[in-house]
């Protein structure tokens, strides 16, 4: 358990009357993102890096607040696993009613993750307190006291930080594809272990009944890559091989987005599930900066507001990340969960597992260890799985010299028993 305390903080106020922060965008499964969404995704990625640099800095420049001033007499945060508790006391120079009084929290992308707070709180000169507990995903967060009087938000004091670390209860992973569920809540549906080797250009002929995906789409999400499965997908030594890189003959950066399908007679032959537990064992032959995974559960309604779960989603030249977008509340650009591991794609085999219980929870595991869980804004409608592999969400194309192979040893799908 860790404790962070801020005392006797000075008043700082915001001139912007809004609570939210920016989130991430991610593509639809059957077509590239619209241009506006692509632009917003790039901006948010850039903003995320800027947000990290501001940790520990003052929120805003101090200014005066009419006839009443406020001070933070105490602010604490206690972290116990993923349960984060806060207690804050704010004093007003004169008795004042704040329409909102809470602890503001921002993640690394500056997305609002605030504690709910009090409504119509009476702030006394002797001090008014608020306490609460909330679950957070793995990561580092900034926080400070904040309140709204009239139409103006006041951000009080200097931003502090707290960190939620991964749970350290790993279980073993295996190089052999499981053929049954290890947990009673789940039932094994199907798996793919790539038992038949096939050369480039022949994947769909051999595996076409068990795999779908993007075909002939010129642009990926960043508009730098081109989905060319016949030039990317093959099977070698029992593993799916995605050959990513620049094709000098066509001038295209070749990527692919294969989508596993259940065998005939399983789940009615449909890839759509209401509740899924997906696992995939993967690695890259070398770091490939400029390329990324966005392996996702995407709503079968093809409506982003119905949710999106991406794991792993990150650059093939860096660490492994995962994200869950808020569902069913009209703000899918916000994340209900984001997780980070220092593991990399090129260091060896990893197994990523996504557990989605509709309307209840999403939990992401890497090599048997939970990286984070959320119970907020969880999708409630059927979803399907796509291994979207593309170029990074930046304006700049990958270096033409960057080439490599993303290997998949096996994957499984389990359905929720309910």
* pLDDT at position 41 over 90: no
pLDDT-based confidence at residue 320 (cuts at 50, 70, 90) = very high
Q: Which long-range contacts (CB under 8 A, 24 or more apart) does 213-219 make?
A: 213/256, 213/257, 213/258, 213/259, 213/386, 213/387, 214/30, 214/256, 214/257, 214/388, 217/31, 217/32, 219/32
Q: Is 234 helix (H, G, I), strand (E, B) or coil?
A: strand
* Alpha-carbon span 20 to 89, nearest angstrom: 23
Q: Which of 107, 129, 164 is the last residue of a domain?
A: 164
Residue 178 inside a domain? The answer is no
pLDDT-based confidence at residue 174 (cuts at 50, 70, 90) = low
* pLDDT at position 69 over 80: yes
Same-domain pairing of 133 and 270: no
Q: Is 51 helix (H, G, I), strand (E, B) or coil?
A: helix
Radius of gyration of the chain (CA): 24
Residue 75 inside a domain? The answer is yes
Q: What average pLDDT does range 134-147 have in this prediction?
A: 87
Same-domain pairing of 242 and 150: no
Same-domain pairing of 371 and 238: yes
pLDDT-based confidence at residue 44 (cuts at 50, 70, 90) = very low
Residue 179 inside a domain? The answer is no
- Pick 175 or 25 by higher pLDDT: 175
Same-domain pairing of 118 and 264: no
Task: Please state, rounded to an integer, the average pLDDT across all residues of the chain.
Answer: 84
Q: What average pLDDT does range 88-107 have in this prediction?
A: 95
Tell me the two tokens of residue 217. Answer: 């789409």
Q: What average pLDDT does range 227-249 have in this prediction?
A: 96
Residue 173 inside a domain? The answer is no
pLDDT value, residue 218: 77
Q: What is the pTM of this model?
A: 0.63
Same-domain pairing of 128 and 56: yes
Same-domain pairing of 141 and 41: yes
Same-domain pairing of 89 and 34: yes
Q: What average pLDDT does range 42-46 have in this prediction?
A: 43
Same-domain pairing of 196 and 49: no
* pLDDT at position 194 over 90: yes
Same-domain pairing of 221 and 123: no
Q: Is 17 exposed, middle or buried, given 0-12, 13-18 or 19+ CB atoms closer than 10 A?
A: exposed
Same-domain pairing of 197 and 71: no
Residue 177 inside a domain? The answer is no
Residue 348 inside a domain? The answer is yes
Q: Is 392 helix (H, G, I), strand (E, B) or coil?
A: coil
Residue 366 inside a domain? The answer is yes
Question: Can you give the CATH number for the domain in which 33 is found?
Answer: 2.60.40
Same-domain pairing of 92 and 232: no
Question: Can you give the CATH number for the domain in which 364 is found?
Answer: 2.60.120.200
Residue 172 inside a domain? The answer is no
User: How many structural domains comprise the chain?
Assistant: 2
Give Cα separations from 62 to 5, 144, 335 (angstroms). 20, 14, 30
Domain boundaries, position 285: 186-416
Q: What average pLDDT does range 296-305 have in this prediction?
A: 96
pLDDT value, residue 166: 57
**Percentage of the residues of the chain whose pLDDT score is greater than 90:** 68
pLDDT in tens, 254-273: 999 999 999 989 999 999 99
* Alpha-carbon span 154 to 142, nearest angstrom: 16
Same-domain pairing of 102 and 199: no
């Amino acid at each position: 358990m860790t404790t962070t305390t801020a005392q006797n903080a000075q008043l700082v106020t915001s001139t912007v009357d809004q609570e939210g922060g920016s989130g991430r965008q991610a593509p639809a499964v059957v077509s590239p993102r619209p241009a506006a969404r692509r632009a917003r995704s790039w901006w948010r990625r850039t903003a995320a890096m800027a947000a990290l640099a501001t940790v520990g800095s003052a929120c805003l420049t101090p200014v005066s607040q009419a006839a009443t001033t406020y001070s933070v007499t105490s602010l604490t945060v206690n972290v116990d696993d993923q349960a984060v508790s806060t207690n804050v006391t704010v004093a007003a120079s004169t008795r004042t009613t704040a329409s909102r009084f809470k602890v503001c929290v921002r993640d690394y992308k500056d997305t609002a993750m605030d504690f709910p707070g009090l409504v119509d709180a009476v702030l006394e000169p002797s001090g008014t307190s608020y306490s609460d507990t909330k679950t957070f995903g793995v990561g580092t967060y900034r926080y400070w006291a904040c309140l709204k009087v009239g139409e103006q938000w006041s951000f009080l004091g200097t931003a502090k930080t707290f960190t939620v670390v991964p749970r350290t209860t790993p279980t073993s992973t295996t190089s052999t594809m499981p053929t049954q569920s290890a947990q009673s809540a789940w039932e094994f549906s199907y798996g793919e272990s790539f038992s038949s080797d096939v050369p480039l250009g022949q994947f769909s002929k051999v595996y076409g009944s068990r795999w779908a995906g993007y075909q002939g789409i010129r642009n990926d999400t960043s508009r730098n890559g081109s989905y060319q499965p016949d030039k990317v997908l093959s099977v070698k030594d029992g593993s799916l091989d995605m050959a990513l890189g620049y094709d000098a003959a066509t001038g295209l950066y070749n990527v692919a987005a294969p989508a596993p399908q259940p065998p005939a007679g399983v789940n009615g032959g449909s890839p759509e599930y209401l509740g899924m537990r997906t696992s995939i064992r993967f690695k890259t032959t070398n770091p490939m900066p400029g390329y990324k995974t966005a392996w996702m559960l995407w709503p079968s309604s093809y409506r982003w507001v119905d949710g999106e779960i991406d794991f792993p989603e990150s650059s093939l030249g860096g660490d492994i990340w995962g994200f869950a977008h808020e569902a069913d509340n009209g703000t899918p650009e916000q994340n209900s969960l984001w997780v980070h591991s220092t593991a990399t794609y090129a260091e060896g085999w990893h197994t990523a597992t996504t557990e989605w219980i509709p309307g209840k929870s999403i939990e992401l595991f890497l090599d048997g260890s939970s990286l984070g869980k959320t119970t907020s804004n969880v999708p409630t409608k059927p979803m399907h799985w796509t291994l979207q592999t593309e170029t990074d969400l930046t304006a700049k194309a990958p270096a033409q010299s960057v080439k490599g192979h993303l290997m998949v040893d096996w994957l499984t799908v389990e359905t929720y028993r309910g």
